Structure 1
Amino acid sequence: MQPTAVSEPIRRRIMQRRGRMRVFTDLDPDKMALVVVDMQNVFCQPGGALEIAPSRETAGNINRLAAACRRRNIPIIWIRSYHQPGGADWRMFFDYFITPERGAMAAQQLTERDPGSAIYSEMHVEPTDYVVNKIRYSCFIPGSSNLERLLRSLERDTIILCGTRSNVCCESTARDAMMLDFKVLFVSDGTSAMSPAEHQATLDTLAQSFADIVTTDEVLKDIQ
């Protein structure tokens, strides 16, 4: 079970700094979008080349949020990591941060037509949802994806962020989103890391300077 709250020492620090835990008091559901990062077979299916087993525990909460967002006409955007054959579009990662054998398997499962790159089979995706491909951890750095352009075109300034891994793609995306002036609701029980310690570190870091840390139930109240 992964943590869902900011740790007590960080909570005390935040209260001293700004006097409240929740950052945003002016949320407007009509300005929100649900962004689900990397809930794909390669990460979520048992035996996937880059399996993150705790990601499967978050599928139910993400589906709950997606259903509620559809009822409120809040756009749902599924983010897929996607790479050219052999990982040719990100040599830095595939040459240095993973073994050649595992890198070859991961690169194959992240290509367009491989089942590994598909959205995880337990996720409830509807034809009206958006699917956006990215080629870097963050959705927002130049050249990674068209997510920023899509959000601006939809006139959305608030992101409900779910997915995996908390401390890699989700955290990278949350940091950049805040610095591009998006409000970020980081769903603590709708994101996952390889270990509770890594997940906790992300919650503690983001809460201080980048995002509201919220549970699924809190988001459901926010969008009513």
Structure 2
Amino acid sequence: MAQPTEVSDFVKERLAGIRGGLRLYEDLQPGETAFVVIDMQNAFVAEGGVIEVPASREIIPAINRMAAKCRQLGVPVIWIRSHHPKGGADWRHFFDHFVAPERREAAAAALSDDAPSSRFHPDMDIGDEDYIVFKNRYSCLIPGSSSLERLLRSLGCDTLLLAGTKTNICVESTARDAMMLDFRVVVLSDATAALSDEEHQASLNVLVQEFADILVTDEVLEELRANAGGADR
């Protein structure tokens, strides 16, 4: 069953009083926007994966459809891939303290080098013109994590459409940092997934208040098409 796609009513009521409504950005422009897909790798997406997020399989169609439409509209598609060298040597603090000893070796190996579990899930539709960026922290935008910020600046993109897994960890971490780096952020609620409905919902509720718009893919595509002249190119 699909996870929630709307923020909770109490958050809507609060924001109506604070800023007059939910939407932050109502003029999404294809030439200024990038579609960023986070961690849709076998370790997270495949059945039985070491860090499996079962709901991530349900968002594959929405992500692929969004990616295809973005390409037609000239919106860059960027796939983020979590990666750690063998043994997780570049993030020992995490593996030593946040992962149980009996799972530590498997968790570190799952995202190392060219392990099959570190590859993108085979159902992900990655185009030849798409970009692939490696990261070594939850957020793609913390200093030293990845080259994403440099890529976005060079592409002239100030608006990020975020998708992938997990909503409340890597997606949320990236959304927070992106907003604080002055990017406009939209989290696609029907193209993100967490381990539970409760965690997914909580993340949407937090992000909409201070960091991002929360929209579904159809809303975003309709707006992008309208601002591109009304039709896919």
TM > 0.5: yes
The residue correspondences of 1:68-79 to structure 2 (distance < 5 A) are 68-79=69-80
Are 1:102 and 2:103 matched, yes or no?
A: yes
Are 1:3 and 2:4 matched, yes or no?
A: yes
CA contact (8 A) 1:58 1:190 kept: yes
Distance (whole Å) between structure 1 residues aligned to residue 28 and residue 220 of structure 2 = 11
Aligned-residue RMSD, C-alpha = 0.7
SS of residue paired to 2:128: coil
**Deviation by residue 1:39-95 (Cα, 9 ceiling, x = unmatched):** 000000011110000000000000010000010111000000000100000011100
Partner of 1:46: 47
Are 1:113 and 2:117 matched, yes or no?
A: no
Are 1:15 and 2:16 matched, yes or no?
A: yes
For residue 106 of structure 1, report the CA deviation from its aligned partner.
1.7
Distance (whole Å) between structure 2 residues aligned to residue 51 and residue 70 of structure 1 = 29
CA contact (8 A) 1:40 1:116 kept: yes
For residue 27 of structure 1, report the CA deviation from its aligned partner.
2.1
The residue correspondences of 1:120-159 to structure 2 (distance < 5 A) are 120-159=121-160
SS of residue paired to 1:150: helix
Count how many residue pairs are aligned between Structure 1 and Structure 2: 224
Are 1:214 and 2:215 matched, yes or no?
A: yes
Partner of 1:81: 82
Are 1:55 and 2:61 matched, yes or no?
A: no
CA contact (8 A) 2:36 2:163 kept: yes
> % of aligned pairs identical?
54
Distance (whole Å) between structure 1 residues aligned to residue 171 and residue 15 of structure 2 = 21
**Deviation by residue 1:166-194 (Cα, 9 ceiling, x = unmatched):** 00000000000000000111000100000
Unpaired runs of at least 5, structure 2: 226-233
Are 1:199 and 2:197 matched, yes or no?
A: no
TM-score, normalising length: structure 2:
0.95
For residue 211 of structure 1, report the CA deviation from its aligned partner.
0.3
CA contact (8 A) 1:29 1:222 kept: no
For residue 113 of structure 1, report the CA deviation from its aligned partner.
1.0
Unpaired runs of at least 5, structure 1: none
SS of residue paired to 1:199: helix
For residue 28 of structure 1, report the CA deviation from its aligned partner.
1.2
CA contact (8 A) 2:168 2:194 kept: yes
CA contact (8 A) 1:206 1:212 kept: yes
CA contact (8 A) 2:27 2:223 kept: no
CA contact (8 A) 2:185 2:213 kept: yes
CA contact (8 A) 2:30 2:74 kept: no
For residue 26 of structure 1, report the CA deviation from its aligned partner.
2.8
